[in-house]
Structure 1
Amino acid sequence: MPKRAVLLVNLGSPDSTSVPDVRRYLREFLGDERVLDLPAAARWLLLEGIILRTRPKKSAHAYSEIWRPEGSPLIITSKSVQKKLAAKLGDDTPVYLAMRYGNPSVASVIAQIAADGIEEILLFPQYPHYAMSSWETVVVKVFEEAAKLAPKLTITTVQPFYADKDYIEALYEVSQPYFAQAHDHVLFSYHGIPERHLRKADSSKAHCLTVKDCCATCSTAHATCYRAQVLATTRALVKRAGIAEDKYSVSFQSRLAGEPWLTPYTDFELVRLPKEAGKKNLLILCPAFVSDCLETIEEISGEGKEIFMGAGGAVFQQIPCLNDQAPYIDFVHGRVQRWLVGETPEATRAKAFLDA
């Protein structure tokens, strides 16, 4: 049998909360053509001429608010997932961890995989939903580095698992103790993307944001439609938890100014819900992230709570991400086990996607 391994890849974090480290991280992150998908010259001017002159200091402060003695929460949690998954798989199937931006880098980990004599890997992007700025950029980066550093390596990629019944069950198990508490409303806050990204990902160029109720109208475009996928996750979890239609809503957090992003915006909803809808006791969860990070801890638990309470809210409770909790480890382990025994209808060769 070929020597096999698992490669987990998450977003990443700066090496520290220092402004230079944050600037270096943002340069790599926002310099990605799938994140800021502008022509190279325009992307460089925006990044170097505007964003990196002001944002690193502000972001460094935000990171300092969530940093732990051991480092970045996202890195700490990701390493714990790696360790717990490795314990369940045993020595025959090593588990590697890389970050799309920052350290440990994809290149360094692919080099280590090659040095260890690994012949096949299961690439497991830590993103439930497809987006060119998340799932796709991870897959592309891994294949690019493998082509240079380990050209004989066989790579199988776990596809976005937004509607996988075991993933939904993991979300339910983690969320149910909070759903059982008294509350007026549940807000599903997903990371935002520009509307333009939906149109670019629509291979038909005639469905996303073009057809009325496009996310509710069956289409092959949904295979690469972030909005359709997050709504599918929401519907599945709401059904599993028995949440009434008038007791939940969906919003999108994090955006850059200058163009339309997916709406409604989370910060606007955190004002509207208590002030206009009378929803004073709120549960909020962020299923686009498997690990709590800057966007969930600082942006939601910090700024988001302040906005909600300032608008007249009474109780604000954030449901943690899956993190390294047992339901998520069991889900990931189950997917890996299916790959190991050859039962992988949902894990396809990523090269077919890249060549399409």
Structure 2
Amino acid sequence: MKGVLLVNLGSPDSPTAKDVKPYLDEFLMDERVIDVPNILRNILVRGIILQTRPKKSAKAYAKIWWDEGSPLIVISERFTEKVRQHTNMPVALGMRYGSITIKKALQELKDKGVDEVLLVPLYPHYAMSSYETVVVKAMEEQQKHFPQINLTTLPAFYSNADYIKVLSESIADGLKDFEYDHILFSYHGIPERHIRKSDPTKFHCKIDGSCCKINSVAHHTCYRHQCYDTTELVKAYLDLPEDKVSSSFQSRLAGDPWLKPYTDYEFERLAKEGKKRLAVITPAFVSDCLETLEEIAMEGKEQFEEAGGERYKHIPCLNDSDAWVTLMAKWVNEWKSKGTLPV
């Protein structure tokens, strides 16, 4: 019997330092998030970061927390239920970090008689700190606890034509009645070394854009290339003016070069260049979360306006929109009936 496992990032159980600390510990101790030797990761995370970050992060989570709970969790649960209603297969939800574990989700599917699972990392782009860590964790749980279950993984869908259509039309809807000077595609940031580590050729990536023009197997796992590709595809679909669209990368840790340009720097640069009305979208996420709701929708607005901007609009993620639900249901149903996956 076939079933579906949807996996998103995860969230603390509450916006308190007590619950944020173990969540951050699990997240930051992931060797695919902070990819340094374990002893150094322990010192950095448990000896330094977790001494102050939980209280600061708890305040940020409190700013965006809903009555029903974490926005990411609530949205993911709504999405899962809607997808479930569009298919006659069992559909379970797991999180890479936190209490809604992948193991629990696989157990839920096993209890319903499922022995073939379509794993769906809810990330459009491939990155070792998001898509890859979900796949690796799911395989570890499957091999350790559910050897009778076969796993098939949905590929990264950043350039899939149907996905680009759904994303573009969602953006167009968000731009209604907003006369923008510029649109910023803000993607989650990762260290530059992650790009090189994910390069199967070990020599392709230059992180300067030149290699993006070369047809290479490296693009299958190159997060930077995939992000820029998404921007270009949406720009073409919506016929957006070349000079009114750009991409940037948000969130970073000090000490290492991360993908550039940095989103917060772009807020200041665009405002000082006279861009008074800015629209921002976050296509690295399919569900609104701390990074989109607090870092972009709230802090980003303040940064842009402090630099001289006048109007700012954050366009929501796809979340549990009907078009996104319908597309995901189409993908999983085609896998069930034909064994095919989107390309």
Same fold at TM > 0.5: yes
Q: Is this contact kept in 2: 1:185–1:283, CA < 8 A?
A: yes
> Which letter does structure 2 place at the counterpart of 1:280?
K
From the superposition, tell whether residues 68 and 210 of structure 1 become closer, same or farther in structure 2 (CA, over 3 Å): closer
Moved more, 202-211 or 122-131: 202-211
Q: Partner letter of residue 160 of structure 1? A: A
CA contact 2:188–2:249 (8 Å) conserved in 1? yes
Alignment of 1:116-265 (within 5 A): 116-180=112-176, 181-209=178-206, 213-265=210-262
Measure, in 1, the Cα distance between the counterparts of 2:85 and 2:10.
23
Match of 1:351 in 2: none
Does the 8 Å CA contact 1:163/1:233 hold for their aligned counterparts? yes
Aligned ranges 1:5-20 → 2 under 5 Å: 5-20=3-18
**C-alpha separation between the residues in 1 aligned to 2:94 and 2:285?**
16
Cα deviations across residues 29-77 of structure 1 (Å, max 9, x unaligned)?
0010000111010001101110000100000000000001110000000
CA distance in 1, matches of 2:117, 2:131: 17
State the one-letter code of the partner of 2:193: R
RMSD: 1.2
Report how many aligned residue pairs link the two structures: 342
> Quick one: percent identity of the two aligned structures?
51
1:327 aligns to 2:323 (yes or no):
yes
Q: Deviations over 1:229-282 (max 9, x none)?
A: 01111111000011011010000000000000000000000000011x211101
Instruction: Go from structure 1 to structure 2 and tell me whether the alpha carbon gap of 1:211 and 1:14 turns closer, same or farther (over 3 Å shift).
Output: closer
User: Counterpart in 2 of 1:28?
Assistant: 26
3-state SS in 2 of match to 1:308? helix
Q: Distance in 1 between matches of 2:5 and 2:209?
A: 39
Aligned mate of 1:63, from 61, 64, 72:
61
Structure-2 separation of matches of 1:327 and 1:208: 35
Deviation of 1:4 after TM superposition, in Å, equals 1.1
List 4+ stretches of structure 1 deviating above 6 A: none
TM-score with structure 2 length normalisation?
0.97
Amino acid of the structure 2 residue aligned with 1:185: H
Distance (whole Å) between structure 2 residues aligned to residue 137 and residue 192 of structure 1: 16
Match of 1:80 in 2: 78
Q: Write the letter of the residue equivalent to 1:337.
A: N
Q: 1:114–1:149: 8 Å Cα contact kept in structure 2? A: no
Question: Which amino acid letter does the alignment assign opposite residue 220 of structure 2?
Answer: A
Structure-1 separation of matches of 2:209 and 2:258: 18
> Contact conserved, 1:283 with 1:316, CA < 8 A, in 2?
yes
Query: What amino acid is aligned across from residue 303 of structure 1 in structure 2?
Result: E
Q: Quote the Cα distance in structure 2 between the aligned partners of 1:69 and 1:205.
A: 47
Distance 1:172 1:210 in 2: 26
CA distance in 2: counterparts of 1:85 and 1:114, whole angstroms: 19
State how far apart, in whole Å, the 1-side matches of 2:83 and 2:138 are.
20
Q: Give the aligned partner of residue 302 of structure 1.
A: 298
